[in-house]
Amino acid sequence: EWLRRPATRAVFAALRAGGAEARAVGGAVRNALMGVPVKDVDIATTASPEEVMRLAARAGLHSVPTGIEHGTVTVIADKVPFEVTTLRRDIETFGRHARVTFTTDWREDAMRRDFTINALYCDLDGTVHDPLGGLGDLEVQRVRFIGDARARIREDFLRILRFFRFMAQYGDADLPDPEGLAAVRAEKAGLAQLSGERIRAELFLLLAAPGAVPALRLMRDAGFIAPLIGVDGNVETVARLAAIERHLSRSPDPVLRLAALSAGTQENLRERLKLSGLEAEGLATALRGAPALDPRRDELAAKEYIYRNGAAAFTGGALVDWARSNADVDDAARTERASLAERWSAPKLPVRGADVIALGVPAGPGVGRVMEAFEMWWIAADFPTEPKRIAAQLAELARGERRAR
Ligand code: ATP
Ligand code: MG
């Protein structure tokens, strides 16, 4: 289906019109073969970056030289961006800083990629090209390095994390490739050379993946959790992973899972993983937890909590609380929380200070007192919306305030 999208066809047609070969590569092919939805389509081509730009222009497509020194041009069709990269070969292998030279040899291009499952290519007609045995590995869910694993890791230590990340997404972390596992263990110290941004990107993909917990278990066994997120205590980590499995298996939010896994060192994590402000806030909220309100018994208090703190704090905070304490929570309680947050969204307070002033209360602290009293009544009355009822209550509170003066 993804190959039949008009935008995809337009980019392929543009490249082919100039006599260049083009194939989809990487994530799109891998996901399509696994039945996972395809997000973005990366394209590899024999055309040089300059040719790609020329051919795109000739076909009326916009293109941007996003990484032209690495051979990448972004071609936009129907507002969809495609990364079109010229086939490359590493000449001096320093990984990401490798000096690359362009080639027209598909196998050479495949050799510089990280894993066999990421070195699958696909023609527009759906023919799959598999120069390095990626199909066989995909079938048995094996994440296998291309070439000598240790040497490939030393070129780019991010491949350590990508090894675990792809296992969490597509592989079987209970049956890791022994050579790959031995290699990442041996090169563990290289993690220290990675920037927080690069770690975060891979770690979040890993945390959000269906197989996150088995992959994290494998990482813990190999001693990777402590250097990455600064939690120690192997026993504690074991319990946290079990708790994530139990309480967060249906909540793939990486921030929640990170909160459940961490030992409450949020400042530390924010710095280490270069979290965005929003993520740091989410992490802090999750770590703060939420009161153990059961909406089945105490719906109004639960609503008040959502009104004051937001639905995310209500559901996420509780999940993280439960995970961190490995509480004995039954499924119904979990479901109830999620269902309340889903079916009910907190309304905005229906009155403003100006409404109080209009009722004859002079601007000043009296307005605040009336507003506060109104809010208390409004929450206790289960957030009524009828304008008449609201107006009557506000008028009465304003009258009381005027009299008290
Ligand atoms: P996703 O679906 O998460 O985007 P992806 O396989 O497309 O997965 P990307 O990080 O987008 O992953 O990279 C695209 C392709 O580029 C990979 O499939 C792989 O072939 C190659 N690649 C990316 N990063 C590296 C790396 N660090 N070392 C070697 N090859 C890499
Ligand atoms: Mg990709």
ipTM score assigned to the predicted complex: 0.98
Domain count, the chain: 2
Q: Is the pLDDT of residue 236 over 80?
A: no
Is the Cβ–Cβ distance between 263 and 228 less than 8 Å? no
Residue 42 lies in a domain: yes
Residue 359, classed as helix, strand or coil, is coil
Residue 290 lies in a domain: no
Tokens of 238: 């074991």
**Beta carbons within 10 angstroms of residue 48's beta carbon:** 17
Which CATH number characterizes residue 56's domain?
A: 3.30.460.10
The span from the CA of 115 to the CA of 142, in Å, is: 10
Is the Cβ–Cβ distance between 195 and 228 less than 8 Å? no
Residue 80 lies in a domain: yes
Mutate which of 114, 153, 187 for ligand 1 pocket (most atoms within 8 A of beta carbon): 114
Q: Is residue 88 within 6 Å of ligand 1 at its C-beta?
A: no
Window from 5-14, 100-109, 121-130, 257-266 with minimum mean pLDDT: 257-266
Residue 15 lies in a domain: yes
Longest alpha-carbon distance in the chain: 89
- 144-201 pLDDT, tens digit per residue, is 999 999 999 999 999 999 999 999 998 888 889 999 999 999 999 999 999 999 999 9
Predicted confidence at residue 203, as pLDDT, reads 95
The span from the CA of 78 to the CA of 402, in Å, is: 63
Residue 140, classed as helix, strand or coil, is coil
How many CA within 13 A on the CB side of residue 107? Answer: 4
Q: Is the pLDDT of residue 96 over 80?
A: no
User: What residue's CA is closest to ligand 1, atom 11?
Assistant: 27
Expressed in angstroms and rounded, the spacing between residue 128 Cα and the centre of ligand 2 is 18
Ligand 1 atom with the smallest distance to the CA of 162 is: 27
Residue 176 lies in a domain: no
Q: Which domain holds residue 390?
A: 353-404
**Residue 310 CB burial class (10 angstroms; 0-12, 13-18, ≥19):** middle
The two beta strands, 80-86 and 42-45, are parallel
- Select from 92, 117, 139 the last residue of a domain: 139
Is the Cβ–Cβ distance between 321 and 290 less than 8 Å? yes
- 40-55 pLDDT, tens digit per residue, is 999 999 999 999 999 9
Q: Is residue 152 within 6 Å of ligand 1 at its C-beta?
A: no
- Select from 85, 105, 139 the last residue of a domain: 139
Is the Cβ–Cβ distance between 137 and 128 less than 8 Å? no
Residue 347 lies in a domain: no
Residue 389 lies in a domain: yes
Residue 305 lies in a domain: no
User: What residue's CA is closest to ligand 1, atom 4?
Assistant: 27
Is the Cβ–Cβ distance between 146 and 152 less than 8 Å? yes
Q: Is the pLDDT of residue 237 over 70?
A: yes
Kindly tell me the sign of the dihedral angle through the C-alpha atoms of 163, 168, 169, 171: positive
Tokens of 132: 């390095």
User: What residue's CA is closest to ligand 1, atom 27?
Assistant: 159
Ligand 1 atom with the smallest distance to the CA of 155 is: 28
Q: What is the DSSP letter of 63?
A: E
Q: Is residue 142 within 6 Å of ligand 1 at its C-beta?
A: no
- Select from 106, 121, 139 the last residue of a domain: 139
The span from the CA of 71 to the CA of 65, in Å, is: 9
Tokens of 79: 């507002």
